[in-house]
Amino acid sequence: MLAPRKSVAKNKKIMATKKKTAKKKTMTSGKKVVIRGNVNGNRVPSKMLEEQIQEAVRDGARNIDITANGQHGIGGRIWPRGEKVSITVEGPVGQRLGSMGMHGTEIIVRGSASDDVGWINCGARITVLGDVTNGAHNAGAQGILYVQGSGGARCDTMTKYNPRFEPLQSWYLRDVGDSFAEFKAGGTAVVCGINPRNPDNILGYRPCVGMVGGTIYFRGPIREYSENDVQIVDLSATDWDWLVGNMKTFLKAVDRIDYYDELTRSTGDWKKIIAYTPAERAAGRKLKMPLTGFREKIWEKTVGRGGIFGEYLDYPQTILPYITTGENRRNRPVWVNDKYAPPCSANCPSGIPSRKRASLIRQGKLEEALELVLRYSPFPASVCGQVCPNLCMQACTRGLVDRPLNIKEYGRVSLNLPTPKPAKPTGNKVAVIGGGPAGLSAAWQLALKGHTVNLYETEDKIGGKLELCIPRDRLPNRILKKELSRFKEVGVRIHKGKRIKQKDFEKIYGENDIVVVACGAHQPRTLKFPGSEDVVPGIEFLKDINFGNAPDLKARKVVVIGAGNVGMDIACQAYDCGAKSVTAVDVQKPAAFGKELELAEAKGTKVLWPKITEKYDSRKKKIYFTDGTSLDADVVIISIGELPILDFLPAGIHTEKGWIVVNELGQTTDVKVFAIGDATRPGLVTHAIGQGRITADVIHAQMMQYDYMPEVKQTIPYDRIKNIYYDVEYPDTFETGEEANRCMSCGLCRDCHMCEQTCYYGAISRIGHDDGSYEYVVDDEKCIGCSFCAGICPCGVWEMVENI
């Protein structure tokens, strides 16, 4: 029934006056209004019913009886401003009864209610004397919901807590349906479990999913709650006091005070659900069982101790850090002092130990250092110091910084060294055929080792090509003479002017334990072309000069066929003999290099190639080439190499293309006969010296009956030497000590302590020995194998190896 408009206005007036006098009285004694949801069999629309209720309240109604007919949202949104408005509802209640209810509003439903009772309740007290269906108190914030029966699904979901107000309460006498308290964030729910629909589960299927706050007291069995979100705990004394304290009010409200004793009998009947705190939830993200526990209790218990591979693993099953010491290192450093050959001696055919020489000089042992060289070559001054192209210096690492170590000068300063003393005579006899560099080198080594050496030389002078062919201005005869004089001192028996014939050889072979053939190559190679008979062999030309029979070439034009280093020597000599011009021709890129080429070009020698000689017309003084060109040539000298003269050798010694066949040790096909030098293949003087020394070592071993063990060392790579330590300097003068400091000591420790200082872990230390030697050692328990020692060692003496 619609209240008349008039009366509403009248009520307003009453309210206004009474407010001033007795506010409390007004609240309790507001007039009673009845509103019907069904008028004459017609359902009043929700909108109209709401308007009637709001108008009645505005008119001062404080007791409203409503007969509902399924209208939406009855009893909510009443703003009594501190006054109390009581609403009683009967009949079929629609959804969202009491939604957005306010403090002061009291709703009693005489019977059951529909969905979403108390939706976003903001303070109303709602009593349902029956059941509530789904979604009761959904998103409720404040107020109270008393339910005499059960709750449907999704009750108490999304309930809030606002600290400005008392927390919300929801009381259910029987039980609740599925998905209870999802995303609950505040308020208290009480589920009493009286006469539940499902005696096994009073909170329905999966309650509390996403619950983050609030409290649920419940009495009875539950299942499948969201263990990730909430925990079940016992009630504290405070909880119990609250529950008991409020229980009577609830039971009175729902008219079920009879249950009071049963419900408050024991705190043990009740349990409490609370949400995990954010911190607890974060901690709870951990696994249900720690993996270590799983390994022990399930995994290894089933598959066996040590896991599935336990029976095959031979090492402790502990975890290794990335940085390890001792045997767990990936790599470890080794001090490989003198393991590698330096580039200088590795590239010296004579094997002169230049690095060791510099090292000894740095240690103040100059004499020892220089004498050392005589153990390798009898010609340090003549060869190292004069004629050698010094392959050692070309290879010298110092050349990467500025200029190679001046090894040539070291050779020169060795000229006046005292002759070493030969060892005790052994009684072994060796014949050396040929007194050139190769034969002399072998004789020198063998004599020093105490063997009797007979040396046979065709010419009247020993020295071979050093004496016969090399221009005197490249090798002053004074120096050569001085070095040749040493041979007598070491006891080499020299037989000069003795051309060996086959018979002589047989005799020598029979009289000696070993014969070394070092006869050199003295048969000029020639070419056949028209006029070739008028061509002068180069070796004869050079010999004539060194023997004092220099030809007069004044104003002559000279052509040299063959532009190798000998060709260059010839060119120089020709100029010295007065030649107007010298042209050297070759069929291919000339082989001449180094000093010889420089000198010849400095004197004016022209080098032409490719030129293949067609003919020489000695009448016209012209040489013609196959490309149609020609040159004026008063004299033509040919220098395209020489072959050895081997007519004295027995047939048992193999030769090939004119050369004696030997292996790298100088051994021929006859075990008693060795061959070295140009008789085996053309080479530099230093090659001949080296072959002489190695062959002498082999012969010595053979005669003394032990196995020859050549010292084979790899050459140290250049990048192992840290040349950055050395400042660029181009010294003007040569001083033995200063120069030795320039040596970068490739592969040989300089004892600089750089590694010791650099090691971050102090793992490297130097140990000095009584004999003056020393070593650097590593403490494996400190070393992590970082390779800093190896990376920064100036000499490349530290090396990293796999730590197996």
Footprint on this chain of other proteins (rule: CB under 8 A)? 179, 182, 206, 209-210, 287-289, 291-292, 294-295, 298-299, 302-304, 307-315, 318-324, 328-331, 343, 347, 394-400, 404, 718, 722, 724-725, 727, 758, 760, 784-788, 790-792, 803
Place of tokens 């000894």: 360
What is each CA distance from 152 to 69, 126, 366, in whole angstroms? 21, 16, 110
Helix or strand run (H / E) with residue 273: strand 271-275
- The identity of residue 551, as a single letter, is P
Nearer to other proteins, 229 or 239 (CB): 229
Q: Is the peptide bond before 380 cis (omega within 30 degrees of 0)?
A: no
Nearer to other proteins, 349 or 537 (CB): 349
Shortest CA distance to 404 belongs to which of 713, 636, 92, 726? 726
Within 13 A of 534's CA, how many CA atoms are on the CB side? 18
**Least Å from the CB of residue 214 to other proteins:** 17
Q: Which two tokens stand for residue 156?
A: 């108490």
**Least Å from the CB of residue 425 to other proteins:** 41
Residue positions counted in the chain: 804
Q: Which two tokens stand for residue 382?
A: 């003549």
Query: What stretches of 254-386 show up as alpha helix (H) in DSSP?
Result: 260-263, 278-284, 291-294, 300-303, 343-347, 354-362, 366-374
CB 751 within 8 A of CB 773: no
**Least Å from the CB of residue 343 to other proteins:** 6
Nearer to other proteins, 323 or 777 (CB): 323
**Least Å from the CB of residue 332 to other proteins:** 10
Nearer to other proteins, 477 or 803 (CB): 803
**Least Å from the CB of residue 527 to other proteins:** 33
CB 480 within 8 A of CB 467: yes
Helix or strand run (H / E) with residue 20: helix 5-21
Rounded to whole angstroms, the Cα distance separating 315 from 288 reads: 31
Nearer to other proteins, 130 or 210 (CB): 210
Rounded to whole angstroms, the Cα distance separating 710 from 734 reads: 34
Shortest CA distance to 439 belongs to which of 381, 390, 479, 379? 379
**Least Å from the CB of residue 481 to other proteins:** 32
CB 338 within 8 A of CB 748: yes
**Least Å from the CB of residue 115 to other proteins:** 16
Nearer to other proteins, 211 or 247 (CB): 211
**Least Å from the CB of residue 715 to other proteins:** 8
Phi, psi of 611 (to 5 degrees): -135, 120
Phi, psi of 336 (to 5 degrees): -100, 60
Rounded to whole angstroms, the Cα distance separating 582 from 423 reads: 50
**Least Å from the CB of residue 384 to other proteins:** 17
End-to-end alpha carbon distance in the chain:
102
DSSP reduced 3-state for 283: helix
Q: If 0-12 CB within 10 Å is exposed, 13-18 middle and 19+ buried, where does residue 674 land?
A: buried
**Least Å from the CB of residue 662 to other proteins:** 23
- Three-state SS letters, 59-104: CCEEEEEEECCCCCCCCCCCCCCCCCEEEEEECCCCCCCCCCCECC
**Least Å from the CB of residue 201 to other proteins:** 16
Q: What is the chain's Cα-based Rg?
A: 59
Q: How many CB atoms lie within 10 A of CB 298?
A: 11
Rounded to whole angstroms, the Cα distance separating 293 from 314 reads: 24
**Least Å from the CB of residue 228 to other proteins:** 9
Would the CA dihedral through 322, 328, 329, 330 be positive or negative? negative
Nearer to other proteins, 293 or 710 (CB): 293
Nearer to other proteins, 303 or 423 (CB): 303
**Least Å from the CB of residue 231 to other proteins:** 18
Which residues are bridge partners to 190 per DSSP?
171, 217
**Least Å from the CB of residue 753 to other proteins:** 14
Phi, psi of 429 (to 5 degrees): -115, 130
**Least Å from the CB of residue 758 to other proteins:** 6
**Least Å from the CB of residue 473 to other proteins:** 25
CB 578 within 8 A of CB 607: no
Q: In 618-657, which ranges are E strands?
A: 622-625, 630-632, 635-638, 642-643, 655-656
Nearer to other proteins, 298 or 527 (CB): 298
Q: Which two tokens stand for residue 773?
A: 């030697």
Nearer to other proteins, 7 or 787 (CB): 787
Nearer to other proteins, 312 or 706 (CB): 312
Rounded to whole angstroms, the Cα distance separating 670 from 680 reads: 14
Rounded to whole angstroms, the Cα distance separating 254 from 635 reads: 145
Nearer to other proteins, 394 or 458 (CB): 394
**Least Å from the CB of residue 393 to other proteins:** 8
Nearer to other proteins, 242 or 725 (CB): 725
**Least Å from the CB of residue 158 to other proteins:** 12
Rounded to whole angstroms, the Cα distance separating 357 from 368 reads: 8
Nearer to other proteins, 311 or 770 (CB): 311
- Three-state SS letters, 674-697: EECHHHCCCCCHHHHHHHHHHHHH
CB 155 within 8 A of CB 128: no
